[in-house]
Amino acid sequence: MSLNTPIFLKEREEDNSKFVEIQQSQTSSIAAEYPLQNLCLASQEVLQKAQQNGRSKCLKCGGSRMFYCYTCYVPVENVPIEQIPRVKLPLKIDIIKHPNETDGKSTAIHAKLLAPEFVNIYTYPCIPEYEEKDHEVALVFPGPNSVSVKEISFHLQEKIQNNVGGKNDDLDKPFIKRKKTEEQDLNDSKCKDTTLKKIVFIDSTWNQTNKIFTDERLQGLLQVELKTRKTCFWRHQKGKPDTFLSTIEAIYYFLSYW
């Protein structure tokens, strides 16, 4: 009996391990099927009251709007700003908006309303300079060179190493000394913070994205794709696959990974 006990315990441990793996797999499957299950919704009472009262003025531009001004990115008079939840995000977000994108249909504004300190919206051709910080910035956009969210840190580290290896401003130094300096720079770079600090999104119809995406100012950025998510947006673009997300969906799904 005592000889068989260890075998029994080992089989019991293997069964438990398999059970845990199955549970984790089922949990991941449920999360993929119901991606909004952990979304926390604030009270909608303030919006319901505003809807009953109808359109009201934007306190900045004076325009007549419902709920919020899509020009100034602020709630309107009937929606007290203190009653709108403020969200703290783990990183900064830049949104590059196509000039022909209809302001009233843009979902990027929702992110700006909820996290004004973390979200900036730029209208193309206005694009911030990312060249000196491309090791801490990424662009969410599908393509043949895109990586998954899990691969971001690895590729950002690789960018730093490539930048260090490409230095040529000390070619006049003796070879031995130069080699030692480059190795030291490489070691120092590994200690740098390679955490993603900013993520860039393109806000436009899918037929308009190419003009922004091919802009040379975005070409040096790491490209990230949300490959497993499907849109739940009610205004789905006709003729496009269901993996083409609205801007606010892409932001939500990306941050839920982060």
Backbone angles phi, psi at 63, to 5 degrees: -70, 150
Verify that 49 and 137 share a domain, yes or no.
no
Verify that 91 and 138 share a domain, yes or no.
yes
Verify that 97 and 137 share a domain, yes or no.
yes
Q: What is the DSSP string of 13-62?
A: HHHHHHHHHHHHHHHHHHHHHSTTTTPPPPP-HHHHHHHHH--EE-TTT-
Verify that 199 and 249 share a domain, yes or no.
yes
Verify that 158 and 251 share a domain, yes or no.
yes
Verify that 69 and 94 share a domain, yes or no.
no
Residue 173 lies inside a defined structural domain of this protein: no
Residue 18 lies inside a defined structural domain of this protein: no
Residue 102 lies inside a defined structural domain of this protein: yes
The number of distinct structural domains making up the chain is: 2
Verify that 137 and 241 share a domain, yes or no.
yes
Residue 66 lies inside a defined structural domain of this protein: yes
Is 0.75 topped by the overall pTM? Answer: no
Q: Which of 35, 68, 84 is the last residue of a domain?
A: 84
Residue 15 lies inside a defined structural domain of this protein: no
pLDDT number for residue 196: 92
Domain, as residue range, for 49: 43-84
Q: What is the DSSP string of 152-220?
A: HHHHHHHHHHHHHHT--TTTTS-HHHHHHHHHHHHHHHHTS-----EEEEEES-TTTHHHHHT-GGGTT
Structure tokens belonging to residue 201: 């999104």
DSSP code of residue 7: H
Residue 185 lies inside a defined structural domain of this protein: no
Give the mean pLDDT per block of 10 residues along the chain (258 residues).
Answer: 52 55 47 66 90 94 95 94 92 95 90 96 95 92 90 90 58 42 40 74 86 92 85 62 78 87
pLDDT number for residue 198: 97
pLDDT number for residue 232: 73
Verify that 55 and 123 share a domain, yes or no.
no
Residue 132 lies inside a defined structural domain of this protein: yes
Q: Is the dihedral of CA 40, 42, 43, 46 positive or negative?
A: negative
pLDDT number for residue 238: 61
Verify that 136 and 158 share a domain, yes or no.
yes
